[in-house]
Amino acid sequence: MTEIALIAVALIAVAAAVVLSVLLVRTRRELAALQREAETSATQRLLSGGREAVRTVWNTADLVRKKGFGAMVRTSIEDLASWAEVERPDLARLTPDGTVVIFFSDIEGSTALNEQLGDRAWVRLLERHDKLIRRSIKNQQGHVIKTQGDGFMVAFADAGQAVLAAMDIQKELGEASWARRHDVRVRIGIHMGKSVRRGDDLFGRNVALAARVADQAHGGETLVTRRVRNGIGDDTKVRFSDPREVELKGFDTAHAVYPAAPAPEAD
């Protein structure tokens, strides 16, 4: 190889080394920038999460300060109502005219009863409770929308069927030895309303109202709204006590609710 060729090869090698060195430096810079960006993003996420955690703790502390620890525990009915408002705004399509009867139930004092029985016995009790309620609902052509723990959300096309299902549930529980032994008492609330279209807020309010009525019921009691009472008319199988005025959470005005019970059998 001539001297010129050797020089050319040497120059090419030097140039390649320079280019490689520049590329390595650039790569290091880019990697460093990416690392700084990732660290910044992670820090921002951490700070954001920290702020959210602090906000949650602050809100929880404020809730406890105002209403006590009981306010932190959501009932099965509240969970079901929240789910229905978001996931099933179209439930009114179950009936031709858009009117749907909403039925909520749960076991009074279920948390304390669970603690008393232990988890295994509680699960067995829930299985019996669920079977009894589903049977009564099916007999009256109700449609179970969702269950949550010991809570049921049910839709009916007819107010009378909803109330008769409630009467049957209360009667069956009163006669079941396992329910009497553990003092299982179910509270039920029933309301009816009409929704014009999917997602219409009226139906969401009807769901919330039915849930609030159930919250007002005592164990072993079935409460219905005036709309349900009027929808049943003079059904001889059901007796309504005098209404009582109640304040329902989330609603500005007081509402009349009617305790419902089976009518006395004629002699």
Could you read off the pLDDT of 87-130 as tens digits, one per residue? 555 555 555 566 789 899 999 999 899 999 999 999 999 999 99
Query: What pLDDT does residue 21 have?
Result: 58
Please tell me what DSSP assigns to residue 233: -
Please tell me what DSSP assigns to residue 93: G
Q: What is the mean pLDDT of residues 211-233?
A: 91
Q: Is the pLDDT of residue 201 over 70?
A: no
| Beta-carbon count within 10 A of 263 CB | 13
**247 three-state secondary structure:** coil
Higher pLDDT, residue 209 or 18: 209
Query: What pLDDT does residue 34 have?
Result: 54
DSSP secondary structure string for all residues of 64-76: HHHH-GGGG---H
Q: Is the pLDDT of residue 251 over 80?
A: no
Q: If one looks up domain 74-262 in CATH, what number appears? A: 3.30.70.1230
Highest mean pLDDT range out of 1-5, 163-167, 212-216?
163-167
Q: What is the mean pLDDT of residues 61-85?
A: 50
How high is the mean pLDDT of the chain? Answer: 74
Residue that the structure tokens 């009525």 belong to: 213
φ, ψ for residue 165 (rounded to 5)? -65, -40
Residue type at 164 in one-letter notation: L
Helices (H) and strands (E) in the chain, counts: 8, 8
pLDDT-derived band at 81 (thresholds 50, 70, 90) equals: low
Residue that the structure tokens 């060729």 belong to: 5
Q: Is the pLDDT of residue 79 over 50?
A: yes
Strand partners of residue 100: 193
Query: What pLDDT does residue 73 have?
Result: 45
Beta strands in the chain (DSSP E): 99-107, 143-148, 151-156, 186-194, 222-225, 238-240, 244-246, 255-262
Query: What pLDDT does residue 53 have?
Result: 40
Percentage of the chain modeled with pLDDT above 90? 35
Give the whole-angstrom CA distance, residue 87 versus residue 77. Answer: 15
Q: What is the pLDDT of residues 182-199, one digit of tens each?
A: 999 999 999 998 654 444
Residue 218 Ramachandran class (φ > 0 left, ψ -120 to 50 alpha, else beta): beta
Q: What ranges do the domains of the chain cover? A: 1-72, 74-262
- Residue of 28, 167, 156, 40 whose CA lies nearest to 103: 156
